[in-house]
Amino acid sequence: MLQPENKTLLENGIRILTKNMPYSCSVSMGVCVNAGARDESQDESGLFHFIEHMLFKGTAKRSAFQIAKEFDAMGGNANAFTSMETTCYHARVITSHTETAADLLTDIFLNSTFDFEEVEKERPVIIQEIGMVEDNPEDYIHLLSGQYCFRNNPLGHSVLGTRENVLNFNTDRVKEFFRCRYQPQRTVISIAGNIDHNQILDAVGLAFGSLKRGDGFPERVTPSVHPGINLFEQDLEQVHLCVSLKGLSLTDERRYAFSLMNTILGGNMSSRLFQEIREKRGLAYSVYSFISSYDDTGVLGAYVAVDTGNAVEAADVIIREIKRLKENAVDPGELKDAVEYTKGCLLLSSESTDSQMFRQAQNEINFGRNIPLPEVINAIESVTSEDIYNLAGSLFGSDNLSLTLLGPFSDKKQLENILTL
């Protein structure tokens, strides 16, 4: 059984959270900053991600090789990610290596040197990463769809930045950006596993407490969701297609109904899109819907990859299924299945220290408190068919419906007749 979480607020604003999982043999820890790609200007785009790479490239007392070797010697794993609103450095190790892993994460976060030679070596690596995304049509269509949907807003930028920006970032700029944007009051240290809260405070509290409080963080501007059709012709085997609609923010009180609606639409193998497009019509191997939610806005999207001759039919099915959610209440049996599926995913993931660590950090960033799993399950079970019907009616309209295609397709007129809700 999971034990109650503990929380300590340091004087500089850093929050240290622990969740004791007494029967776990591993510990997951993360240093998460409420800052990401949407907090960059056009010429800064890619800096958070660049810094993510550089924090593993050497500190005042460890080289890049020593950092990698020490993590490997523990038999654990360490990684990092940058998203639109969060940057996180995390590790998972067996319990006996907790203090060593905490020391390593503390060192790379507080004492990275951003050495000139390491910056120059990492620059082409990130350029290659940008190329990898562009070479993967499924990844690239999501990027293009976001750029079109949120154009003229940082939420439409690539987390990786542009080649031009990456080539122009220098050591001084990286250091200054890190100093200004990695603010303690926006930082959460989250740890889950068979650990003691006071042990963690002793391991990281003094060092992180020395981080100076920052100010002047850029204001986040809420974008509109732009409607329309966007075509990117490319010589590919398939047409990759994304439909995007206005969604909900991370903290919207209707978020549980939104999640269940996504599950029903295309969130699993028994969903409407999977059954209609793959099982009944045999149009595609990969088809699903997804949610991208942020601090102040969100998107409900759907993706499919099909032969060129089936692109219009697939787009039409997706839009008609979205329209069906808006026009007809979900069958109670279908809703019950979605509820049980969602509960199962949550309960199974609760056994993972990684899942508990990330969930605890995100709850703190988004709500300022941990939301207990029974509270979440109760909210999910309370959603009604009417809730989903009303939500679809309030969100979905032709004025926020966008369609993005990547591949061998150029006939925009064929799509214009079906792009209506």
Tell me which fold the domain 228-416 belongs to. Cytochrome Bc1 Complex; Chain A, domain 1 (3.30.830)
Q: Can you give the residue ranges of every domain in the chain?
A: 5-209, 228-416
Give the residue numbers marked as catalytic: 52
pLDDT in tens, 147-205: 999 988 999 999 999 999 999 999 999 999 999 999 999 999 999 999 999 999 999 99
**Spatial separation of the C-alpha atoms in residues 102 and 91, rounded to whole Å:** 9
What 303-306 contacts at long range (C-beta under 8 Å, 24+ apart), as own/partner pairs, is: 303/138, 303/141, 303/142, 303/240, 303/241, 303/242, 304/240, 304/241, 304/273, 304/277, 305/137, 305/138, 305/238, 305/239, 305/240, 305/241, 306/238, 306/239, 306/241
* pLDDT of amino acid 280: 97
Average pLDDT for residues 381-396, to the nearest whole number?
97
> Could you tell me the pLDDT band of residue 253, with boundaries at 50, 70 and 90?
very high
So what's the architecture of 5-209 in CATH? 2-Layer Sandwich (3.30)
Average pLDDT for residues 11-17, to the nearest whole number?
96
Average pLDDT for residues 58-63, to the nearest whole number?
96
Average pLDDT for residues 79-94, to the nearest whole number?
97
- Beta carbons within 8 Å of 381's beta carbon, 6+ residues apart: 339, 343
* pLDDT of amino acid 215: 81
CB-based contact 154:40 (threshold 8 Å): yes
Average pLDDT for residues 138-146, to the nearest whole number?
97
* pLDDT of amino acid 1: 36
**Spatial separation of the C-alpha atoms in residues 285 and 142, rounded to whole Å:** 17
Q: Helices 311-327 and 385-395 meet at what angle, rounded to 10?
A: 120
| Closest by CA position to 87, among listed 135, 127, 54, 41 | 54
CB-based contact 413:263 (threshold 8 Å): no
Average pLDDT for residues 302-308, to the nearest whole number?
98
Averaged pLDDT of the chain: 95
- Beta carbons within 8 Å of 387's beta carbon, 6+ residues apart: 254, 257
CB-based contact 231:413 (threshold 8 Å): no
Share of the chain above pLDDT 70, in %: 99
> Could you tell me the pLDDT band of residue 5, with boundaries at 50, 70 and 90?
low
Q: Is 100 helix (H, G, I), strand (E, B) or coil?
A: helix
Same fold, 5-209 and 228-416: yes
Give backbone dihedrals phi and psi of 153, rounded to 5 degrees, phi first: -140, 145
